[in-house]
């Protein structure tokens, strides 16, 4: 994993090996796997809430 700070934006780069993704998978399979990993990461690491028309909906 590599972390860099570009104009106050933090980016992280991971290898397929670090993500346990077989590089021989099809492009569609890789995209699906990366999307699944990202969704799990978002749910585990980001807390948020939504306010709609003055009503607060706690999402986490």
Q: State mean pLDDT over 13-25.
A: 92
Domain interval for residue 47: 2-58
Give the pTM: 0.58
Indicate the average pLDDT of the chain: 81
How many domains, in total, are found in the chain?
A: 1
Beta pairing partners, 5: 10
User: Are 31 and 42 within 8 A, CB to CB?
Assistant: no
């Amino acid at each position: 994993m590599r972390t860099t700070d570009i104009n106050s934006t933090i980016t992280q780069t991971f290898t397929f090996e670090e993500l346990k993704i077989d590089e021989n998978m099809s492009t569609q399979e890789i995209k699906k796997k990366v999307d699944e990993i990202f969704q799990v990461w978002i749910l585990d690491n980001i807390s948020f809430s939504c306010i709609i028309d003055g009503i607060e909906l706690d999402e986490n």
